Each structure stands twice: as C-alpha cells, then as structure tokens.
Amino acid sequence: MQRIVDAVLAVMAAIGAPGVGVATAAETVFPPIPSEVVLPLAGFAASQGRYGPVEAILWATAGSMVGALTLYYLGRAWGEERLTRAFDRLPLVEGRDVTRSVDWFARNGRRAVLVGRLVPGVRSLISIPAGIQRMPLLQFCFYTLLGSAVWNALLVIAGYLLGQRWHIVENYMGVFSTVVYVVIALLIGWFVVTRLRHRRRRDRRSDHEVVRAEESAAVD
C-alpha cells in the first residue's frame, strides 16, 4: 500500500495541480488510498507555491467526481436484479436485503450521498448503491460535488495552513477514521448476530411444524 501511496504522490509532484485530480480520482475508486494523506499533502504543496490552494481544491473535486461516476456506473451496470441473485447465494444475507436497501436509498439517497462523501470508508462506496438504485444523474452529481468540495477543501486548506506539519491532519483524521471503522464493524457484528438468531428461531418453528404434521398424520 505504501508503494501505491508513493506512486500517487509522485504523480502529484510531477504534474502539479492536475496530479491532485488524478490522486483523488484514484483514492475514490480505490478506498485503501487515504485521502487523509493525499489532500493535506496537496495543501502543503500549494503552500510551497507549486500551485494555488483554490486550484488544488478544484482539481481534487474534479478527480472526486470522476472516481464517483466510475463507481456509480459500475453499480448501475450491475443492477438490482443481478445483486439480488448474488445475495441469494451468500450466507447470512438474502435477496430481499437488497430490495430493502434500494427502497431505503430511494427515500434517503440525496442525504446519503451528501453525508456519505464526508465519512471515511463510506465516501467512495456510497456511489455504488446510488448507481444500483439509478439515482438521477444530475442529482447524484450535485450532491457528490457538494460533499466532495467540502471534504476536499477542509483537508487541502488544513494542509496549506499547517505547511510542513501537514502530518497533523493525517494523525487526527486517522483517529476519526478508526472510530468510523469500529462503528461499521459493530454494526456488521450486530447484523450477523441478529440474522443468526432470526434463522435459529425460523428453523425451530420449521422443526416444530414438521413434528406437528407428523403427529397429525400418525393420528389420521
């Protein structure tokens, strides 16, 4: 992963502000590339006069849009029906989970895209359900653009103001990211435990119904 980050940073150093756009597009499509490193470093480079902070923010936001649209069309190409069939073949999940998720996204899609672009670990992946749900493209672009611009501006400006101490941003954002990942892990754990309990209750009911049917047949 360090090699990937180094390669992304080398692109930024080689071509200047457009490299910020390339880097943010890459970190959007490949979430393991941390924007908490890329964007503050872009701000630091701006403080050294390689380009302006506004230029860095604009290129970063353009790159975020390219990456988000890539994932949006990936989700759109995959589609709800294909995802439902895939879920039906997986343990602990069911095709109807996809339907519920799509219905929820239909009601909360705009808020989900806007807020999701501000949450590490979610900011990239939120584009996929938007595509699966076929969220109107202009609507998706507007909320993605708004959320991305806020996120990019915060981190670029922080790196610009801190200068050589830009690593401070990475440290604080690392703590925030860790908290988010722990919450996500707890939610997944809660889902797994709940689904296992539900299936056990369902299996017990099925066994009970079989026993009752056998007893009824024996009496007849």
Q: What is the pLDDT of residues 162-200, one digit of tens each?
A: 887 877 776 666 665 666 556 656 655 765 566 567 667
CB-based burial of residue 135 (10 Å sphere; 0-12 exposed, 13-18 middle, 19+ buried)? buried
Yes or no: say if 47 and 80 are a contact pair by the CB < 8 Å rule: no
Query: In sequence order, which residues have a C-beta less than 8 Å from that of residue 13 and are 6 or more positions away?
Result: 19, 45
Yes or no: say if 170 and 35 are a contact pair by the CB < 8 Å rule: no
Q: Which pLDDT value is given to residue 99?
A: 63
Q: CA 156, CA 169: separation in Å to the nearest integer?
A: 10
Nearest CA to 124 out of 65, 199, 79, 207 is that of 65
Question: Quick one: what percent of the chain has pLDDT higher than 90?
Answer: 19
**What sign for the dihedral angle of Cα 211, 215, 216, 217?**
positive
Top-confidence residue, 138 or 96: 138
Q: Which pLDDT value is given to residue 139?
A: 92
Q: Which pLDDT value is given to residue 122?
A: 74
Top-confidence residue, 121 or 152: 152
